[in-house]
Amino acid sequence: MKLLFFIYNHFLAVILLVLFTFLTDRCCDTVTKVQSYEGFSESFSCSYESQYQNSLKYICRGNRPSTCLQQALITSDTKQNGRFRLDDDKVSGTFTVNISSLTQNDSGSYLCGVQRNSDVDVFSAVELEVEGERSYSSVRETTATIAQRWR
């Protein structure tokens, strides 16, 4: 009976630890929403405080801060990785991420991270929505409609 009680208590402790980790490993009160189309390039900027000018900046998919750096798509050290590019403007305190040749698979949550050596990293969240290919005929039709309204 003691063994059963011991197993039950450890099982309960593990469940509580997993729940606590899951509930607390979230990020960011606000989310920047970005919309674009397949085949386009899109950029979004992430700001940081001046004391982090020389810190590592990075971007990852998802919304789990605890694993973000290990799963980084790009960092300020590598600057370019395939379709992803990161440019750090230390004067303005922002880094810009550009994703080229977007596909609908690029849709989803991203975290901008700034590494802090003595504390938890700083994050901001971006939600990217990539819609189907935008045809040039629909752009021309929209332009024509607007032009007709102004006659």
Closest Cα to residue 95, out of 42, 51, 56?
56
Q: What is the DSSP letter of 70?
A: G
Q: How many domains in the chain?
A: 1
In a domain, 151, yes or no: no
Q: Is the pLDDT score of 13 beyond 70?
A: no
Task: Considering only residues 118 and 121, tell me which one the structure prediction assigns the higher pLDDT.
Answer: 121
Q: Are 73 and 86 in contact (CB under 8 A)?
A: no
For tokens 């939600």, the residue is: 127
CATH code assigned at 112: 2.60.40.10
For residue 144, being part of any structural domain is answered with: no
Per-residue pLDDT of 31-59, as tens digits, reads 999 999 999 999 999 999 999 999 999 99
Residue range(s) defining the domain that contains residue 88:
28-133
pLDDT in tens, 67-96: 999 999 999 999 999 999 999 999 999 999
Global pTM value = 0.71
